[in-house]
Amino acid sequence: MNFNDYQKQAITTDLSVGKGQDVLSIAFMDKVLGLLGESGEIAEKFKKILRDKNAQLTDTDCQELAKELGDVLWYIALLGHYLDVPLDEIATKNIDKLKSRHSRGTLSGNGDNR
């Protein structure tokens, strides 16, 4: 499955219709807050792995983290749709940015415009 196919299928599971809506709409804000919540769940799982398992990942941990990453991907796909940007374009532009930083030796450091 490619990113755009995923995005099209993810859209069908959205409980609210939202493309080109005001960023303060309930539908849009629901996706922003959902992305933050799911990202927080990943951070919480990693914290417990560090604290309770001496930073040792089990197969079960990896599977649980993969589920949460899927939830993050869903929110990213929907936000891209709301912004009228295909998920494939989001992924491609991100890789292009990272390749540019890598070739210029600026992968590490601060700021968006390195």
Task: Check residue 60 and give its pLDDT.
Answer: 97
| Per-residue pLDDT reduced to its tens digit, 7-46 | 999 999 998 866 656 778 888 899 999 999 999 999 999 9
| Per-residue pLDDT reduced to its tens digit, 65-87 | 999 999 999 999 999 999 999 99
Q: What are the structural domain ranges in the chain?
A: 22-104
The three-class DSSP label of residue 41 is helix
Please say whether the beta carbons of 78 and 11 come within 8 A: yes
**To which H or E segment does residue 73 belong?**
helix 59-82
Written out in words, the top-level CATH class of the domain with range 22-104 is: mainly alpha
- The whole-model pTM stands at 0.87
